[in-house]
Amino acid sequence: NRIAVLHGVNLDQLGRRPAAIYGGITYDQLEQHIEKWAKELGLQIRFMQTNSESEFINNLHNLDGLADGILINPGAWTHYAWSIRDALEIAALPAVEVHLSDPETREEWRHVSVVRELCFATVKGQGPDGYRDALALMKEHLAG
């Protein structure tokens, strides 16, 4: 199965963000972990990261025929970008929402997720390891 892993705004700067919240690893290191776990699970991975909301939306529009499932971490867009929610609906693929931190234990404005209702699972607050769980959930979902 082919999984698209979509990261949104500011996640390219992971190594410069508060280590107490995000674990201090860089975006490249995160990709390497995900790549390794995907291999172990026999999944094919395609990474996309952008700080441009329009590009993120275009990426979702263009997944048709390229991916069987989506892991999505939109960063701060999670909490207010309804355009991304609508684009995810258009993509019409099984999706898992992933966050390194647990937004629901943080500031009030992070408690809303515009994509949650379109995702069959949410994995949060587990740092990079959450992506391994998300991949395993996706594999199980696509097999069933």
- Residues that bind ligand DQA in the complex, under the rule CB under 6 A: 10, 73, 75-76, 78, 99-101, 103, 110
Q: Are 51 and 9 in contact (CB under 8 A)?
A: yes
In whole angstroms, what is the distance from residue 125 CA to residue 128 CA?
Answer: 9
Output the six-digit token pair for 59: 């990426």
The one catalytic residue among 22, 27, 61, 111: 22
In whole angstroms, what is the distance from residue 117 CA to residue 46 CA?
Answer: 23
Ligand-binding annotation for 46, yes or no, is no
80 among known catalytic residues: no
Minimum CB distance to ligand DQA smaller for 69 or for 75: 75
Ligand-binding annotation for 41, yes or no, is no
Q: Give residues with Cβ within 8 angstroms of 65, minimum separation 6.
A: none
Ligand-binding annotation for 86, yes or no, is yes
99 among known catalytic residues: yes
Q: Residues comprising the binding site for substrate? A: 73, 79, 86, 100-101, 110
Q: Which residues are catalytic?
A: 22, 99
